[in-house]
Amino acid sequence: MPQRLARKVLLVGWDSADWRFINPLLDQGWMPTLERLVNRGVMGNLSTLRPIYSPLIWNSIATGKMPDKHGILGFIEPDPLTGGIRPTSSTSRKVKAIWNILHQQGLNSGVVAWFAGHPAEPVRGTVVSQLYQVFPPGASAHHPVADGVIHPASLRDTLALLRTHSSDMTAAALLPFIPRAAEIDQKTDRRLERLATMLAECCSVHNAATWVMEHREWDFMAVCYDSIDHFGHTFAVYHPPRLDKVPERDFEIYRDVMTGIYRFHDMMLERLLALAGPETTVLLVSDHGFHSDHLRPQRPRTHPTDEARWHRPIGIFCMAGPGIRQDERIYGAGVLDVTPTVLTLFGLPVGADMDGKVLLDAFETPPPAHSIPSWEAVPGDCGMHAADLRMDPVAAKALVDQFVALGYLPPPTETAGKLARFAVDESRFNLALVYLYSRRTALAVPVLEELVAERPGNPRTIVALAVCYARLRRPGDVRKVLAPLQEAGAAGPAVRWLLSLSDLQRAKAEQALEELLRLQEANSGVVAIEVRIGSVFLAFRRWSDAETSFQRALTLDSDALAARLGMVLVRLRQKRYREAVEAALDAVGLEHANPLGHHLLGVALTQLGQFERAVLAFETALQLAPELAIARRWLLKVHSRPGGDLGQAAVQRVILYRRTPK
């Protein structure tokens, strides 16, 4: 058995927390608790998954597995008993979460307000589901806690007293967020009421978490605060600098709200750390980031899931405790790496079927690797529910209403059956996106083709299918599937961009460039267009023009991964190999799980004669994408050179050129 490295582990989730919000507050000394945590541990970016929807990602954080494996694919799911919908539930998760694994090892967990965590699972310890803090519309502060919200049920009366209702929010509680609250006409402006509700929910989560930490036995504690995300979807539009579409008066009244909620989280973090004690290893993570600058969406919303346009693909990561490096940055962390790292802290092996890795760079002395084939194969009770457990309908409706208020779901004006169909279609569409963005495009195609056939004319589905065809280099199918949108006069920027890409794949580069330049003129400031123009310039061997386009994209968004990879390609073509290495390191530091970045790093290192580092880069690329033949060819080339590893060269040659038996 591996050595246990942590006495206790505290995992704190701040939904949507973003360094671009946080760093200015750290500089001003307004988040002192987080600053102390960063100084005594490691910090860095945390790359997320796509689609960037919280239920999918928080369950990947808790399992170390992609959404298609864990089974949580949306905010809602069909209710098998009512024929309508209900929030995605813990019974829909197909695999063990970290607390289920720890339960089997005899360890106690405290879990509070985790996404898709209702009904509360009967693991060793205490579980409070995400329905705890949500009151049904119009309910009083004395509304009872629903069945299934709290495990063990004997704690229901105690924890019910710790919930905070919006009516409890006094002027003293609200004025730090909106100093000019007295100027708001609450008959016509419901934003102050909305703030009171969200703040009450936040306080309820914190009250439950601190009570559990103080009064219950725990080895592992996980608490998820969703308030930064909820506040962001209502108030980030008013955050400085003022957007053109925001009236000056609204800006002046609501400009401080986002700063206020971050500072409030820092105060809550102080209490959590005090209760945890110095011997506890602490991880602070977010599932994704949130736009705070010129990249904030300004186009009208056309679909409920458009709210996810506010989400940045980079979250935050901090880790501190005994044996953890201090005051250091960590690179290449992703949401899938949290559970493998927590398992390692407890001296437990990582499941080989987990998609994440242990964040070895966080440790002063990296622990040895230990794994088992799968924790799913470990027999015995693990504290998971039967899949058909019913959810309290009143409590479920309250959470659905919350998702509607946040803009994630359409108002429930349709019949129950239509809403259930909507839930099924959203899950299928999200599954296709999971496949698409995890480079399993061929798996996404049949799902999207079925959706397009069943719901013809749906632009979202059509465009996603066209992206798949473009990835598979099927330009004729791209044009065919987009034809109905063109005929209907709905050929917006995304459609025109895909058509230009099909021109490029049909060796009509000049045509593609002309269309892209027209798109650029009509849609200035769109990162994807600048990146595609740079790619066309690469095809024309116009290195300087390509570099200019990629640099424009990076000026618009310094975290644009495609533009960073484009800069690597430019520098390779110009034989600026040292600069190519630097650019590639920046790219893989931004998103470690990107095989092309590691491959390009390997190419640049090979050109510099740094063969050992190049081998590591190519092997990393192939570990992430075994089908990436070009990386394998380069790896074969490096091993085949004089002084190379001829045995490994033979292995790579067999893999590369083997033929599938007929």
Strands (E), 164-312: 220-225, 280-285, 289-290, 311-312
> What are the φ and ψ backbone dihedral angles of 10, each rounded to 5 degrees?
-115, 120
* Of the candidate ranges 179-183, 459-463, 519-523, 600-604, the one whose mean pLDDT is the lowest: 519-523
> What are the φ and ψ backbone dihedral angles of 79, each rounded to 5 degrees?
-95, 115
Taking residues 477-503, report their average pLDDT.
82
Q: How confident is the model over 67-91, as pLDDT tens digits? A: 999 999 998 888 766 777 888 889 9
Residue 166, helix vs strand vs coil = helix
Q: Tell me the C-alpha distance between 315 and 272, whole Å.
A: 21
Residue closest to 526 by CA, chosen among 556, 492, 567: 556
Taking residues 601-625, report their average pLDDT.
94
Q: Tell me the C-alpha distance between 263 and 273, whole Å.
A: 15
Residue closest to 351 by CA, chosen among 385, 330, 382: 382
Query: Does the pTM exceed 0.75?
Result: yes
Over 70: is that where the pLDDT of 333 sits? yes
The full set of domain ranges for the chain reads 8-398
Kind of pairing between the strands at 371-372 and 350-351: parallel
Taking residues 456-463, report their average pLDDT.
91
Over 50: is that where the pLDDT of 469 sits? yes
Q: What is the DSSP string of 581-611?
A: HHHHHHHHHH-SS-HHHHHHHHHHHHHTT-H
**Per-residue pLDDT at 658:** 73
CA distances from 75 to 88, 375, 391, 410 (A): 6, 26, 15, 12
**Per-residue pLDDT at 396:** 58
Residue closest to 213 by CA, chosen among 148, 277, 262: 277
Q: 471: Cβ–Cβ under 8 A, 6 or more apart, which residues?
A: 436, 441
Confidence of residue 20 (pLDDT cuts 50, 70, 90): very high
Confidence of residue 448 (pLDDT cuts 50, 70, 90): very high
**Per-residue pLDDT at 131:** 92
Residue closest to 16 by CA, chosen among 292, 293, 287, 291: 287
* Of the candidate ranges 99-108, 151-160, 390-399, the one whose mean pLDDT is the lowest: 390-399
Q: What is the DSSP string of 260-294?
A: HHHHHHHHHHHHHHHHH-TTEEEEEE-SSEE--ST
**Per-residue pLDDT at 391:** 59
Q: Tell me the C-alpha distance between 411 and 395, whole Å.
A: 17
Q: Rg of the Cα trace of the chain?
A: 25
Indicate left, alpha or beta for 260 from its phi (over 0: left) and psi (-120 to 50: alpha): alpha
Strands (E), 129-245: 150-151, 220-225
**Per-residue pLDDT at 662:** 38
**Per-residue pLDDT at 4:** 92
Confidence of residue 414 (pLDDT cuts 50, 70, 90): low
Question: Mean pLDDT of all residues in the chain?
Answer: 90
Confidence of residue 497 (pLDDT cuts 50, 70, 90): confident
Taking residues 584-613, report their average pLDDT.
92
Say which residue the tokens 């200015």 belong to: 24
CATH topology of domain 8-398: Alkaline Phosphatase, subunit A (3.40.720)
Confidence of residue 104 (pLDDT cuts 50, 70, 90): very high
Q: Residue 24 has which token pair?
A: 């200015």
Kind of pairing between the strands at 125-128 and 109-112: parallel
User: Do the Cβ atoms of 128 and 113 come closer than 8 Å?
Assistant: yes
Q: Tell me the C-alpha distance between 53 and 55, whole Å.
A: 6
Residue type for position 348: L
605 or 590, higher pLDDT: 605
Burial (CB count <10 Å: 0-12, 13-18, 19+), residue 644: middle
Over 50: is that where the pLDDT of 133 sits? yes
**Per-residue pLDDT at 307:** 85
Q: Tell me the C-alpha distance between 116 and 55, whole Å.
A: 6
Angle at 470 between CA 468 and CA 474, to 5 degrees: 105
**Per-residue pLDDT at 390:** 58
Q: How many CB atoms lie within 10 A of CB 568?
A: 27
Q: How confident is the model over 247-257, as pLDDT tens digits? A: 999 999 999 99
Over 80: is that where the pLDDT of 565 sits? yes
User: Do the Cβ atoms of 633 and 657 come closer than 8 Å?
Assistant: no
* Of the candidate ranges 125-134, 423-432, 585-594, the one whose mean pLDDT is the lowest: 585-594
Residue 185, helix vs strand vs coil = coil
512 or 584, higher pLDDT: 584
**Per-residue pLDDT at 398:** 66
490 or 133, higher pLDDT: 133
Over 70: is that where the pLDDT of 1 sits? no
The share of the chain scoring above pLDDT 90, in percent, equals 69
Q: Residue 399 has which token pair?
A: 């959470």
* Of the candidate ranges 115-129, 170-184, 510-524, 597-611, the one whose mean pLDDT is the lowest: 510-524
Residue type for position 655: I
**Per-residue pLDDT at 386:** 79
Q: 252: Cβ–Cβ under 8 A, 6 or more apart, which residues?
A: 180
